[in-house]
Amino acid sequence: MVAFPPVKINLGLNITAKYADNFHAIESVFYPVGWTDVLEVIQTDNQGFNLELSGLTIPGTISKNLIFKAYEILKKHYSLPGYNFHLHKILPMGAGLGGGSSDGTVALQLMNEVSNLGISEKKMQEYALQLGSDCSFFLQKKPMFVTGRGEILAPIQVDLTGWYIVIAMPPVSISTAEAYSWITPLQPQKSIQEIISMPIEQWRDQLKNDFEKHAIEHFPVIGEIKNKMYEMGATYSSMSGSGASVYGLFKKKPPLFQLEGMQTWEGKL
């Protein structure tokens, strides 16, 4: 069975508080985008887990991969067969797009389906949350207003259908821990929910990502990409998540966007 784990972009991102356990409270809108990895699973008679990788090189050991962690979570609760997974990695890592979270969440869904485990929607959400704070979003197929650590989801009316998007990932790496170390949490004067309801033309001066200013200070290329998006005619552009990818939203198909040393993708929402 083959699936295509997608990414998300952040439409605004506020860091509003820091919890006692050093996690942070956020406010954001996650919007699904059709840039995907390719994930295949084959059920086997021999118990155990195997993961083959192709495409982009994924750092770290298999034991740290969220696909393996998804298997470990289900193994605690179900008598599982063996699985051979093959992940063709297309999505950039450390991009603020949630590619790894998406892979792990889709792996949960694939094992449930191919092995007829009968996992309820509520249980699936619990297992996804064990993978990571943003993983439960990838069980949804629609925009969500996100609060808490990223696990509290509420539907929100925002429709970018027909808009073109360009995503560019520069050759820099920003760890999530590093990004949060730059931030002093602050309650925003205006909620992202309120800003999202405005015409997209007004987002440029209103819809902010708290990580972006500091990321640009450390990695000026991020600001250069954002400026390039606007030069190309973007109505709105922002860094996604904790970075380092930058996306632009365009009313019409933009000119071919290529920057040396960067991974780029464009499509219609």
- Cross-strand partners of 264: 168
Stated length of the chain = 269
Q: What is the pLDDT of residues 194-251, one digit of tens each?
A: 999 999 999 999 999 999 999 999 999 999 999 999 999 999 999 999 989 999 999 9
Which pLDDT value is given to residue 177? Answer: 85
Task: Give one DSSP letter per residue of 117-165, joined into a string.
Answer: ----HHHHHHHHHHH-TTGGGGG-SS-EEEETTTTEEEE-----TT-EE
- Cross-strand partners of 209: 13
CATH architecture for the domain at 159-268: 2-Layer Sandwich (3.30)
Which pLDDT value is given to residue 34? Answer: 95
Q: What is the amino acid identity at position 101?
A: S
Tokens of 128: 């996804």
Tokens of 37: 């990895």
d(CA 5, CA 51): 16
Domain ranges of the chain: 2-154, 159-268
d(CA 38, CA 52): 12
- Closest among 231, 147, 249, 145 to 196, alpha carbons compared: 145
pTM of the model: 0.95
Active site residue 64: no
Helix then strand count (H, E) for the chain reads: 8, 12
Which pLDDT value is given to residue 83? Answer: 98
- Cross-strand partners of 152: 147
Catalytic residue among 8, 89, 208, 226: 8
- Cross-strand partners of 28: 13, 146
Hey, do 2-154 and 159-268 end up sharing a CATH topology, with the first three levels equal? Answer: no
User: What's phi and psi for 183, nearest 5 deg?
Assistant: -100, 135
DSSP H helical segments within 151-256, as ranges? 176-181, 192-196, 203-206, 212-218, 220-231
Question: Taking a C-beta distance cutoff of 8 angstroms, is the pair 209, 256 a contact?
Answer: no
Question: Taking a C-beta distance cutoff of 8 angstroms, is the pair 225, 29 a contact?
Answer: no
Which pLDDT value is given to residue 258? Answer: 67
Catalytic residue among 69, 134, 210, 226: 134
Which pLDDT value is given to residue 246? Answer: 97
Active site residue 45: no
Q: Which CATH number fits domain 2-154: 3.40.50.720, 2.40.30.60, 3.30.230.10, 3.10.105.10?
A: 3.30.230.10
Q: Which residues of the chain have pLDDT under 50?
A: none
